[in-house]
């Protein structure tokens, strides 16, 4: 299963709190969509769920991508001729394009209707995301070239032109969403920097509304409905649930009843998705809790198998426990690194000597693949410290 949103132009300079909130929102929505598609727990890399259109539009120019995709007049040529003229797509070898795609099938699909026009569905979005997920391993130019090649191999000319338009709009949308996350987040109450549940509920709602408005700048009603209807329906429910949990005037019984009532706004397939999501969250929370208690992997698996017989998977649990152990080890090394770095800077050595000493310290403490994360965590720490200083 592949499930990630790639921002080709992410600069790493986003507002930490806002970014975490957007990531939390997208994570919650994505989990629900995965379950609705029957994908949760299937950890193979041949599936995906996620996000999208004029061949001359610039992907970095929102104004060029705001118009809904027009529906062309019916092509005068016979339909069969248009469809038959589409070449057979070449066999796909993911590993030859990007290491992360090794052993995977292309997610989603591109199809033309009987008139030779593109069928607009979530499959189009999944198809784009499969390739865009390789940005970083391959350049943006390489990925876009491959997408154009795949579009031309799978669609007749009219549908291919529509698909290229949607692709450009989608890339523009991704860039705009990254810019939105980079904007400073206006707190509802600057005097309360504890960021309570109510604060997060209000901020999440504001961010979600901005995200919905942004989508409608880039996509027409047909695309918005096809690509985001399930996600937005669940988003509305998730926001309602956050508000109910933030309402301290409700009794536990009243809150539970209100949550059940709120579920009625969900599409039928999402109601079951929500139930499964709760079970998976409970399993995940229990795994983390047992790990933090110092239980051995075998103890954790034995306890989880008894508590959650329907959701438990030994291989997946091993993977999660191994990940938690790696994270704990990294955080321990990170803490030691920060303490040693602070001591170096406090010694009053020259800037050049300090830079050299810090570089050597990083090389001793982390492997090369971890250095980007180290830089990101240090940036987050600086932003957090600055926010605490400037908060009233």
Average pLDDT over the chain, rounded to whole?
76
Q: Of 82-86, 130-134, 288-292, 349-353, which range is least confident?
A: 82-86
pTM, two decimals, is 0.54
> Are 176 and 62 contacting, i.e. CB atoms less than 8 angstroms apart?
yes
Average pLDDT over residues 230-253: 87
Q: What is the pLDDT of residue 182?
A: 74
Give the pLDDT band (50/70/90) at residue 195: low
- For the cut 50, the answer to whether the pLDDT of residue 13 exceeds it is no
Least confident of 84-88, 151-155, 372-376: 84-88
CB atoms within 10 A of CB 244: 18
Closest CA to 13 of 371, 388, 379: 379
Per-residue pLDDT reduced to its tens digit, 93-151: 888 998 889 888 999 999 999 999 999 999 999 999 999 999 988 999 999 999 999 99
Asked if 304 and 283 touch (Cβ cutoff 8 Å), the reply is yes
Q: Quick check: 228 and 215 in contact, CB under 8 A?
A: yes
d(CA 199, CA 28): 18
How confident is the model at residue 183, as a pLDDT? 73
Instruction: State the alpha helices, DSSP H only, in the chain.
Output: 16-36, 79-84, 94-97, 122-132, 140-154, 157-182, 197-218, 221-246, 252-262, 268-292, 297-307, 314-346, 351-365, 371-390
DSSP state of 219: S
The pLDDT value recorded for residue 276 is 81
Rounded average pLDDT over 283-296 = 92
pLDDT band at 390, cuts 50/70/90? low
Q: Residue 168: pLDDT above 60?
A: yes
Q: What confidence score (pLDDT) does residue 387 get?
A: 60
How many residues make up the chain in this entry? 392
- What confidence score (pLDDT) does residue 5 get? 35
3-state secondary structure of 138: strand
Rounded Cα gap, residues 158 and 112, in angstroms: 9
381 or 211: which leads in pLDDT = 211
Q: At what angle do helices 197-218 and 16-36 cross, to 10 degrees?
A: 70
Highest mean pLDDT (candidates 48-62, 172-186, 352-366) = 352-366
Q: Are 21 and 200 in contact (CB under 8 A)?
A: yes
pLDDT of 294 above 60: yes
Residue 199 or residue 190, greater confidence: 199
Residue 43 has pLDDT above 50, yes or no: no
Alpha carbon of 20 to those of 204, 207, 313: distances in Å?
A: 10, 11, 29
Instruction: Give the pLDDT score at 85.
Output: 54
Higher-confidence residue of 185 and 60: namely 185
In this predicted structure, the answer to whether residue 41 has a pLDDT above a threshold of 80 is no
Predicted confidence (pLDDT) at residue 250 exceeds the cutoff of 70: yes
pLDDT the model gives residue 3: 36
């Amino acid at each position: 299963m592949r499930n990630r949103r790639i921002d080709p132009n992410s600069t790493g300079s986003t507002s930490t709190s806002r970014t975490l909130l957007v990531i939390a929102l997208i994570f919650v929505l994505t989990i629900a969509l995965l379950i609705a598609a029957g994908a949760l727990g299937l950890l193979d890399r041949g599936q995906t769920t996620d996000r999208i259109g004029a061949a001359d539009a610039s992907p970095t120019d929102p104004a060029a991508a705001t118009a809904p995709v027009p529906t062309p007049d019916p092509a005068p040529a016979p339909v069969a001729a248009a469809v038959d003229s589409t070449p057979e797509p070449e066999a796909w070898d993911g590993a030859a394009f990007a290491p992360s795609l090794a052993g995977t099938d292309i997610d989603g699909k591109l199809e033309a209707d009987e008139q030779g026009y593109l069928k607009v569905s979530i499959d189009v979005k999944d198809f784009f995301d499969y390739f865009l997920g390789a940005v970083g391993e391959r350049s943006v130019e390489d990925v876009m070239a491959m997408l154009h090649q795949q579009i031309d191999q799978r669609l007749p000319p009219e549908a291919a032109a529509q698909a290229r338009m949607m692709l450009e709009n989608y890339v523009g949308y991704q860039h705009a969403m990254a810019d939105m996350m980079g904007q400073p987040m206006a707190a509802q109450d600057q005097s309360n920097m504890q960021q309570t549940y109510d604060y997060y509920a209000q901020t999440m709602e504001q961010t979600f509304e901005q995200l919905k408005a942004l989508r409608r700048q880039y996509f027409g009603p047909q695309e918005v409905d096809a690509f985001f209807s399930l996600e937005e329906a669940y988003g509305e429910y998730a926001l309602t649930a956050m508000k109910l949990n933030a309402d301290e005037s409700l009794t536990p019984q009243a809150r539970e009843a209100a949550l059940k009532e709120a579920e009625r706004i969900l599409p039928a397939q999402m109601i079951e998705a929500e139930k499964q999501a709760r079970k998976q969250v409970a399993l995940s929370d229990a795994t983390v809790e047992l790990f933090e208690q110092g239980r051995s992997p075998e103890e954790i698996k034995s306890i989880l198998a008894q508590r959650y017989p329907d959701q438990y998977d030994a291989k997946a649990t091993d993977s999660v426990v191994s990940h938690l152990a790696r994270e704990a080890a990294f955080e321990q090394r990170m803490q030691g690194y920060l303490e040693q770095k602070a001591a170096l800077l406090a010694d009053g050595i020259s800037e050049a000597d300090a830079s050299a000493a810090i570089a050597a310290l990083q090389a001793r403490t982390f492997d090369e693949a971890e250095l980007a994360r180290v830089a990101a965590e240090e940036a987050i720490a600086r932003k957090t410290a600055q926010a605490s200083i400037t908060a009233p």
